[in-house]
Structures are given as structure tokens and as C-alpha cells.
Amino acid sequence: MNQIDLKDRVMVVTGGARGIGYAVAQRALRSGAAVALWDVDGERLERSRSELSALGPVSVVKVELTDEASVEAAALKTVETHGAIHALVNSAGITGGNGLTWELPVDMWRRVIEVNLIGCYLTCRAVVPHMIAQGYGRIVNIASVAGKEGNPNASHYSASKAGLIGLTKSLGKELATKNVLVNAVTPAAAKTEIFDSMSQQHIDYMLAKIPMNRFLMPDEAASLIVWLTSEDCAFSTGSVFDLSGGRATY
Ligand SMILES: NC(=O)c1ccc[n+]([C@@H]2O[C@H](COP(=O)([O-])OP(=O)(O)OC[C@H]3O[C@@H](n4cnc5c(N)ncnc54)[C@H](O)[C@@H]3O)[C@@H](O)[C@H]2O)c1
């Protein structure tokens, strides 16, 4: 495993209680960072904290990412605990299930946009002023290849991830002279608990689209994501990095 230097850095990982966010937290801790896990699942947060604490300093904050006050409070608490926030990885996300656009419940369509897009906007909004003030920051948004291509039976999810790519590009340009870099990654399917919310037909569809003919491993995603949060990532911002096993063509 390559060494990534995150010594004395503090990283927030939303959705860090499980899945890709958990793998990111693990790799960040092994790279010398202190990590704050922000997640809505309090029980799972505690379990993850006790598993990860052997690797380095871990704090947890129970947060509802669609709630502005909850996100602001999480940012304040993290700065209070660790003294700073140098990196933000927006990994929390939901699929909202699968269905045709005109048959998906309106509430579910809205909820997916709220969590996957507005949630990331709110975390950026809470953390960016702090990063500007300290003259350093790295933000990585976990979008999806679905946001580039549009998956059938997942219009809410695809639209939310396309929106997140747009947010990344705009914010990256706004912060380009501040040493606060904002990038996105676009994974293809990784076998995490998020699969429980998708139909087998949809999972088969996603696998069939991947030229490498296998699912992404969370650790493979963490390698790229954690590098993007490091100082070594210096001249890339507002950009989108592929994690699709050959699926993406742009
Ligand atoms: N796994 C995949 O196949 C895949 C593919 C492409 C993109 N992604 C994206 O990667 C990210 C991570 O996916 P994963 O597979 O690790 O998912 P996961 O379901 O394993 O973990 C997501 C975490 O987000 C948390 N969360 C959800 N809604 C929240 C909210 N409102 N407030 C706070 N926390 C909330 C959950 O509690 C959970 O711990 C997601 O944004 C997902 O859309 C995943």
C-alpha cells in the first residue's frame, strides 16, 4: 500500500459509519489523520468508532445531513474536538430504490435530492469558511457514474449525482485561489450495504456495464479518495475522477 501523508490533518467523513466512507476513514487513519465520522446512524457510529480507534483519533457526530442546524452543529463540534477541519469527504448517500421516473414516489424523488445533493451543499457551506480562514482545505464529493450516464430506473439518484458534479465544478472554481480544492469521484457499483436498497435486476444491470466485470472494492475507492484529500493533490480542482472499472467514456 502506498503511503499517503495526512499527518496532523483532520478529516470529516460523512456516511463514515459504513461502506465506502468507513474504508476512507480507515485509510485516512492509517495515513496519520484524525477522523470525525458524521452519520445519522448512531448505533453504527459507535461500533465503527470502537473498531477504528486502534488506528488513531476518531470522533463521531450523529448528524442529519439534510438539516442545516444539525450540520452546523457537527462542524462546530468537530473543530472543538480536533481543533480544525482540513478535509471533507462527502460519502453519505441513499439510492431511493429503483423504478421508472413516472412511477417513483414524489417524496422519495425529493428525499434522494435532499440527501445526496443538498446534504453535500450544506456540509460544504458549513466547512468552507473555516478552510478559507486557515488557507487550506480538500473536499471530495462521492458522486457516481450514474450522474454522468443516467441509469434507467434510478432517475432521482442519477440526477442527484449529476447535480453533485455540478456543485463540485462550481465550488472548485470559486475556491481555486484559496488552496481549497474540490473534486468528485464517480464510482461504479461497490458491494456495500447500499445494495440492500436496490433491485437485483438493477445490480445485474450495473455489473454488466463494467468492462472489468467485477464490482469496485471500497478499499480501491479509498485509495483515490484519500489521495485527493492530501497535499499531493495540488493542481486538480473542480474535477471528476473515474472509479468505474472502464465504464465511463468521459
Ligand atoms: N456502493 C456503490 O455501489 C456506489 C456506487 C457509486 C456511488 N456510490 C456513492 O458512494 C457513497 C457511499 O456509498 P456506500 O456504498 O458506502 O453506502 P452505504 O449505504 O454503505 O453508506 C452510506 C452511509 O450514509 C449514511 N446516511 C444516509 N443518509 C444520511 C443522512 N441523511 N444523514 C447522515 N448520514 C446519512 C448512512 O447511515 C450510511 O452509513 C454514496 O454517496 C453513494 O451514492 C456508491
Q: Which tens digit of pLDDT belongs to each residue from 23-64?
A: 999 999 999 999 999 999 999 999 999 999 999 999 999 999
User: What pLDDT score was predicted for residue 232?
Assistant: 97
Q: pLDDT, tens digit, for every residue of 113-141? A: 999 999 999 999 999 999 999 999 999 99
pLDDT at 142 over 90: yes
The whole-number average pLDDT for the span 6-14 is 98
Q: Which of 27, 39, 67, 200 gets mutated to test ligand 1 (max ligand atoms within 8 A of its CB)?
A: 39
What is the structure's pLDDT at 203?
A: 96
Residue 185: per-residue pLDDT? 98
pLDDT category, 216, cuts 50, 70, 90?
very high
**Model pLDDT, residue 15:** 98
Ligand 1 within 6 A of CB of 67: no
- Residue 168 near ligand 1, beta carbon < 6 Å: no
- The domain ranges of the chain are 10-237
Per-residue pLDDT tens digits for 66-103: 999 999 999 999 999 999 999 999 999 999 999 999 99
Q: How far is the CA of 238 from the centre of ligand 1 (A)?
A: 22
Ligand 1 pocket residue status of 25, Cβ below 6 Å: no
**91 touches ligand 1 (CB under 6 Å):** yes
* Residue 1 pLDDT level (bands cut at 50, 70, 90): confident
CATH architecture of 10-237: 3-Layer(aba) Sandwich (3.40)
Starting from the edge strand earliest in sequence, which strands make up the sheet with 180-187, in order?
58-62, 34-39, 10-14, 87-90, 137-142, 180-187, 239-243
> 186 CB under 6 A from ligand 1?
no
The answer on pLDDT for 165 being more than 90 is yes
CA 118/CA 121 separation, integer angstroms: 5
For the chain, what is the mean pLDDT? 98
Mean pLDDT for 11-33 is 98
Question: 129: how many CB neighbours lie within 10 A of its CB?
Answer: 10
What is the rounded distance in angstroms from the CA atom of residue 236 to the CA atom of residue 245? Answer: 21
- Which residue lies with its CA nearest to atom 23 of ligand 1? 15
Q: Write down the pLDDT at residue 191.
A: 95
The one catalytic residue among 22, 136, 157, 205: 157
Q: Is the pLDDT reported for residue 240 higher than 90?
A: yes
205 part of the active site: no
